[in-house]
Chains A and B, each alone.
Chain A
Amino acid sequence: MSIEEIEQEIIDEFELFEDWMGKYEYLIDMGKSLPIIEDKYKTEDKLIKGCQSRVWMQSDLKDGKIIFTADSDAIITKGMVALMVRVLSNHTPDDILNAKLGFVDKIGLTQHLSPTRSNGLVSMIKQMKMDALAYKTQN
């Protein structure tokens, strides 16, 4: 599936929820059910420093595609991280660099991307794109 198709899939899933409770519960479940990074990578140098919650991220290039794994100590952030990894992982550096990530707005969680939240998620997206750029220029 392309990045946009995955985004659409997530938008459809979130449309099932009528209120914020459902959305957040779904996000929390996603955060809980995804042990997405190996503990050995949860080190200081993999830490993306945000003001409130911590996010660790690891990227590897495999057959021309980037595989992201990540984690956070806050469960809601972890749910958001899981969404981002689901959307961006296993794609080429070019696709990742071009991704608009409009789904965040459409599922009504834009507040997590606002600069005031400083929850590490904005920094994480930036880091994902920087990694993509690094892998792109390597090749």
Chain B
Amino acid sequence: MESDSLQTLYYSINRLLFRIILTFVFIKMTTVNFIDKHIIDINKIRAQFPILSRKVNGKPLIYFDNGATAQKPIQVIDAVKKYYEYQNANIHRGVHTLSQEITVAYENARITVQKHLNAEHAHEIIFTKGTTDSINLVAHSFGKKYITKGDEIIISEMEHHSNILPWQQLCEEKGAILQVIPINDSGELLMDEYNKLLSSKTKIVAVTHISNVLGTINPIKEIIELAHAKNIPVLIDGAQAVPHTKADVQELDADFYCFSGHKLFGPTGVGVLYGKEKYLNEMPPYQVGGGTIKTVTFAKTEYADLPLKFEAGTPHVAGGIGLATAIDYVNEIGLDAIAAYENELLMYATNALHNINGIKIIGDATNKASVISFVIKGLHSFDLGTILDQLGIAVRTGHHCTQPLMQHFGIQGAVRISFAFYNTKEEIDEFIKGLERAIKMLS
């Protein structure tokens, strides 16, 4: 009896211990998962970007010009290389194996983009040359169908020239009027003014998700809601947003959303236009030619269904595949982790810059991405950029293709630093030292 109960006790203790160990292992596992999802492994990441190990003017490269274009991870480079070495064929045409394989791969790339933007249909994803091309497509095609004399198009004061000129040209052609949402001195859209601009004459609103100069993250959901209340469609320029934040086109209810592959760590020369099916179906083709048709006679042509209607000519196949690889890469790291890490860099750099004599940071919106533009009293951005370049530090200088915005702030140009998830606080320290040195030399 005694030995029996002892044995029972022994088993009970064993079971208890086993449970404690299991619980411990479970907690440990979830913590590890949590860490994996929320912390950037900077050394591992940097090793995946070959260019980051090169030297410029004899100094290790510090690349702070991510707003202009982002660097490419080895995965993307390999995908493009593999395409040319192993997979090259024209898509949508051949009966041969290579053509069929690459057509599947290219269409899978479209699905990757669709999932990333959470678009309802894959055929709502049009591959373009980039954001500029996407906006031009909409301005031409939507303009042709829907814009007439006296209509109004709303953009904002902080737009990149690429989201001004296509609309300006359309207005000139059609006798329409370009309306501009003003901003405050922090670089935020004046939403009351925007609401006042919306009228029965407004045919489309085109605004940027994130400003390429100010870093301002615009309240695009609210912008879209206000426009939709008056049945006005909205185009969002997502060029600067996609590397930093998740855009869910269904949740936003965006009618058009544009971005470039190369700012999202993908190849240059490929971009995306998301458009709601109901608009894309109604809009006439923008460029016409091979690939866009069902039947052609000299009397009449019947155009293909979406998305091919908008994809004339042989597309940038390597670009599409490279872009899909880049999207997978970014999602593996996680856009939440990226945003959190970049916000840390933003805070760190902003604090350090505030200690520089004579500095003025252009744009201090409450909701801001990791982009900082600044001017130094009495110094020209070109001079600062030139000296920083000698120190191996790549920054952007000049008007950043936003001359109207420069006019708002009464400046000729600014120095801009823009971060990606592979940048570090140590690089910011080096940049601050370089900036101090440049200021000393130039003063």
Is there contact, CB below 8 Å, between B398 and A52? yes
B381 / chain A contacts, CB cutoff of 8 Å: 52
Q: How far is the CB of A116 from chain B (nearest CB, A)?
A: 12
Which listed residue (A24, A28, A76) contacts B382, Cβ 8 A?
A: A76
A119 / chain B contacts, CB cutoff of 8 Å: 382
The answer to whether A75 has its CB under 8 Å from any CB of chain B is yes
Given A24-B441, A28-B441, A77:B57 Cβ within 8 A: no
Is there contact, CB below 8 Å, between A75 and B383? yes
Chain B residue at minimum C-beta to C-beta distance from A119: B382
CA distance A76 to B390 in the complex (A): 13
B441 / chain A contacts, CB cutoff of 8 Å: 21, 24-25, 28
Is there contact, CB below 8 Å, between B57 and A76? no
Is there contact, CB below 8 Å, between B390 and A52? no
Given A20-B57, A28-B442, A53-B380, A73:B412 Cβ within 8 A: yes
The answer to whether B247 has its CB under 8 Å from any CB of chain A is no
Is there contact, CB below 8 Å, between A74 and B390? no
CA distance A23 to B183 in the complex (A): 42
Is there contact, CB below 8 Å, between B382 and A77? yes
Q: How far is the CB of A71 from chain B (nearest CB, A)?
A: 12
A73 / chain B contacts, CB cutoff of 8 Å: 380, 412
> How would residues 63 to 91 of chain A score, 1 for a CB under 8 Å from any chain B CB and 0 otherwise?
00000000001111100000000000000
Q: How far is the CB of B405 from chain A (nearest CB, A)?
A: 16
> How would residues 4 to 44 of chain A score, 1 for a CB under 8 Å from any chain B CB and 0 otherwise?
00000000000000001100110010000000000000000
B165 / chain A contacts, CB cutoff of 8 Å: none
Is there contact, CB below 8 Å, between A76 and B386? yes
B442 / chain A contacts, CB cutoff of 8 Å: 28, 75
CA distance A65 to B442 in the complex (A): 34
The answer to whether B387 has its CB under 8 Å from any CB of chain A is yes
> What is the size category of the interface that chain A forms with chain B?
10 to 19
Given A20-B390, A25-B441, A76:B398 Cβ within 8 A: no
Q: How far is the CB of A107 from chain B (nearest CB, A)?
A: 15
The answer to whether A1 has its CB under 8 Å from any CB of chain B is no
CA distance A73 to B412 in the complex (A): 10
Is there contact, CB below 8 Å, between A24 and B387? yes
B397 / chain A contacts, CB cutoff of 8 Å: 52
The answer to whether B434 has its CB under 8 Å from any CB of chain A is no
Is there contact, CB below 8 Å, between B382 and A74? yes
Chain A residue at minimum C-beta to C-beta distance from B386: A76
The answer to whether A54 has its CB under 8 Å from any CB of chain B is yes
B412 / chain A contacts, CB cutoff of 8 Å: 54, 73
Is there contact, CB below 8 Å, between A24 and B398? no
Chain B residue at minimum C-beta to C-beta distance from A20: B390
Q: How far is the CB of A111 from chain B (nearest CB, A)?
A: 9
Q: How far is the CB of B443 from chain A (nearest CB, A)?
A: 10
Given A24-B387, A24-B390, A25-B441, A53:B57 Cβ within 8 A: no
Chain A residue at minimum C-beta to C-beta distance from B401: A51
Is there contact, CB below 8 Å, between A53 and B390? no
CA distance A78 to B360 in the complex (A): 24
CA distance A90 to B356 in the complex (A): 43
Q: How far is the CB of A124 from chain B (nearest CB, A)?
A: 14
Q: How far is the CB of A104 from chain B (nearest CB, A)?
A: 15
CA distance A129 to B412 in the complex (A): 28
Which listed residue (B383, B399, B413) contacts A76, Cβ 8 A?
A: B383
Q: How far is the CB of B161 from chain A (nearest CB, A)?
A: 12
A53 / chain B contacts, CB cutoff of 8 Å: 380, 382-383
Q: How far is the CB of B378 from chain A (nearest CB, A)?
A: 10
CA distance A6 to B213 in the complex (A): 43
Is there contact, CB below 8 Å, between A52 and B382? yes
A74 / chain B contacts, CB cutoff of 8 Å: 380, 382-383
B387 / chain A contacts, CB cutoff of 8 Å: 24, 76
A75 / chain B contacts, CB cutoff of 8 Å: 379-380, 383, 442
Chain B residue at minimum C-beta to C-beta distance from A31: B383
> How would residues 401 to 412 of chain B score, 1 for a CB under 8 Å from any chain A CB and 0 otherwise?
000000000001
CA distance A84 to B413 in the complex (A): 25
8 contacts between A and B (CB under 8 A): A24-B387, A24-B390, A24-B441, A53-B382, A73-B412, A75-B380, A75-B383, A76-B383
A→B interface (CB under 8 Å): 20-21, 24-25, 28, 51-54, 73-77, 119
* 7 further interface pairs, Cβ-Cβ under 8 Å (given A76-B386, A77-B380): A24-B387, A24-B390, A52-B397, A53-B382, A74-B383, A75-B379, A75-B380
